[in-house]
Amino acid sequence: MLAQITSGTVLGVRGVLVRVEVDIGNGLPAMCVVGLPESAVREGRERVAAALLNSGYRIPPRRITVNLAPADMRKDGSAFDLPLAIGLLVAAGEIEPERVLRTCMAGELGLDGEIRPVRGILALALRCRDEGISSLVVPPYNAAEASVVEGLTVRAPRTLSELIAYLRGEAEVPVVRFEETPVPAGTIELDLADVKGQAHARRALEVAAAGQHNALLVGPPGAGKSMLARRLPTILPPPTMRESLEITTVYSVAGRLGRQGLVRERPFRAPHHTVSDAGLVGGGNPPRPGEVSLAHHGVLFLDELPEYRRHVLEAMRQPLEDGHVSLVRARIAIDYPARFMLVAAMNPCPCGYHGAGAGRCICHAGQVQRYRARISGPVLDRIDLHVDVPPLGDRQMTDDNTGESSAVVRLRVCEARERQLERFRDRPAMFANGQMGPRDVRGHCRLDAESESLMRAAVRRLGLSARAYHRILRLARTIADLEAIDRIQTVHVAEAIQYRTIDRADTWYVRTGAR
């Protein structure tokens, strides 16, 4: 008898339905799995046999052929254990075929029949909804994320025996309902008001948050660079439902979601400088999302930027520009989303104290030049704001007065984002000025005569590239949005330009050897 069970796998962050076909025929007892299965899928035969035996069922001693369709796509992971077990029982006549129609199943089986978690359930649930499949059976650990998808009946039996009893009409498995995950009590929330002084850097972060711009913080140790960066998510607008689904899908595919149903906060990722290129942008065997994808719709913080290996930083150039990572291998091509804000921090020199006071820096010009050369020009050119974070003075450190809280700054940022959403209402994929291309810049960043003169002077004196020129215009547009002004003015252009001058001053220092 032939049985067909719907299951699925994940390609990148996209769910793909797979039909598990099980045929029990005449011949010597054996089980053959075809359809380009990887080792984890082939090993599932032994897990399924033991799980069925320990659940009170035995595989018929006949020739069993299992096909995973489409057969030209490689299948990896242990999610096919559960549909294979049910397919064997349907083919053996233990379960009526009508009970598994329009139902998708995915889950790993333990030898005792326990249904264990797998990756990418949310992506599979979204695909089921799009394909008109009404029911989904998942492990209990993955039930919360699957229940996020509306219009889908989700059941999460604990064991294979429970599922078999339900499919035979002997018991009931309750439907899982979506519930918001509460914030744990006692959670310490970061606040921008914790930062003392640094009015210029605070303003720069507000501009960056308002327009989805990348930022580089340069200053000596202890100036507050990491403290500022870690508070950036607190002034970003809350993610929309669509953004939350995208974030949750990435974490589900990466196996980092846990029992959480829906990620309601923007992610903040801070990988160590020893991270590999595959760890940063994704890859491996099987491929997994990297840090740039885990920071999707959030913040990627690279502390001590020159300490990262050069080829690792260069691998970020495509996602910084395009908002996604394209991994092309001999057998597969995968896209991962990577629309993130990059915030990097670095010292001005190897010892870290250039500009922190007379006599504190012990580096000579050659050392500083080699230190700064670890970051290529193309990478720096993709960072919109280059922000000086000077050391705090004694008055600033002892002053009890605090600056604006994250809630106050977030309100202004949200108002600026609303203006941008209205501006790009005909472009659903675009939500911030930092995403504008050259054509959008020409249409939305028009300058008056005085502002054009200032920009021409900046291009001549600073040697700006065409990319840097457009990024300054986008920054000026964001600054104007923060002030609720429709047309860019000279003061907005001037502020945007000064966010590109810090690296020029350091270049002057290197060339002259001055201190």
In-domain check, residue 438: no
Judge if 106 and 203 occupy the same domain: no
CA 157 to chain centre: 30
The residue-averaged pLDDT of 284-305 equals 93
CATH code at 112?
A: 3.30.230.10
Residue-number span of the structural domain to which 140 is assigned: 2-167
Q: Is the pLDDT of residue 510 over 50?
A: no
CA distance 24 to 100: 18
pLDDT at 56 over 90: yes
Of 370, 402, 429, which residue is a domain's last?
Answer: 429
pLDDT recorded at residue 184: 55
Q: Inform me whether the pLDDT recorded for 334 exceeds 60.
A: yes
275 and 416 in a single domain? The answer is yes
pLDDT above 80 (res 414): yes
- Mean pLDDT to the nearest integer, 106-123: 96
Q: Is residue 478 part of a domain?
A: no
Domain co-membership, 402 together with 260: yes
Domain boundary among 399, 429, 459: 429
pLDDT of 488 reads 94
What is the DSSP track for 228-277? Answer: HHHTGGGGSPPPPHHHHHHHHHHHHHHT--TT-S---S--EE---TT--H
The residue among 509, 494, 510 whose CA lies nearest residue 458 is 494
**CATH code for the domain of 396:** 3.40.50.300
**What's the pLDDT at 358?**
63
Residues 100 and 225 in one domain: no
437 inside domain: no
SS3 378: helix
30, 139: one domain: yes
pLDDT at 226 over 60: yes
The better pLDDT of the pair 366, 307 is held by: 307
pLDDT of residue 501: 65
Can you give the pLDDT at residue 512?
Answer: 34
Neighbours of 439 (CB within 10 A): 8
Q: Which of 79-93, 131-145, 275-289, 472-486 has the lowest mean pLDDT?
A: 275-289
Based on the fold, state whether residues 201 and 135 are members of the same structural domain.
Answer: no
Is there a single domain that holds both residue 215 and residue 283? yes
Please report whether residue 314 resides in a domain.
yes
Q: Say if 10 falls within a structural domain.
A: yes
Stretch 388-407: mean pLDDT = 81
Q: What is the pLDDT of residue 340?
A: 95
**Residue 115 region by backbone torsions, left for phi larger than 0, else alpha for psi between -120 and 50, else beta:** beta
Do 255 and 156 share a structural domain?
no
Please report the pLDDT score of residue 509 as a whole number.
Answer: 35
Mean pLDDT confidence for 347-375: 83
Segment 256-273 shows an average pLDDT of 91
Output the six-digit token pair for 86: 């049910």
Give residue-wise pLDDT tens across range 60-98.
Answer: 899 999 999 999 898 999 999 999 999 999 999 999 999
Closest CA to 396 of 229, 234, 200, 189: 200
State the virtual CA torsion across 457, 462, 465, 468 in degrees, nearest 10.
-90
Report the percent of the chain where pLDDT is more than 70. 94
Is 13 domain-assigned? yes
Give the contacts of 463 (CB within 8 A, at least 6 positions apart).
none
Q: What is the arithmetic mean of pLDDT over 411-431?
A: 92
Whether residues 156 and 274 fall in one domain: no
Do residues 20 and 153 share a domain? Answer: yes
Q: Is position 76 within any domain?
A: yes
**pLDDT surpasses 70 at 301:** yes
Query: According to the model, what pLDDT value does residue 181 have?
Result: 66
**Mean pLDDT, all residues of the chain:** 90
pLDDT at residue 182 in the model: 60
Question: Which residues lie across from 23 on neighbouring strands?
Answer: 2, 65
Task: Provide mean pLDDT across the span 351-365.
Answer: 79
In a domain, 359, yes or no: yes
Size (the chain), residues: 515
Task: Give yes or no: residues 132 and 216 share one domain.
Answer: no
Mean pLDDT for the stretch of residues 483-500: 93
Alpha helix ranges (H) inside 25-120: 39-54, 81-91
pLDDT band at 506 (very low <50, low <70, confident <90, very high): very low
> Would you give the end-to-end CA distance of the chain in angstroms?
84
Say whether pLDDT at 507 is over 50. no
pLDDT over 90 at 355, yes or no: no
Q: Mark which of 388, 406, 429 sits at the end of a domain.
A: 429
Domain co-membership, 197 together with 312? yes
Query: What's the confidence (pLDDT) of residue 511?
Result: 35
Q: Provide the pLDDT for residue 81.
A: 97
The total domain count for the chain is 2
pLDDT of residue 514: 36
Contacts of 212 (CB under 8 A, 6+ apart): 341, 431, 432, 433, 434, 435
Residue 153: its pLDDT value, please?
Answer: 96
Q: Is the pTM of this model over 0.85?
A: yes
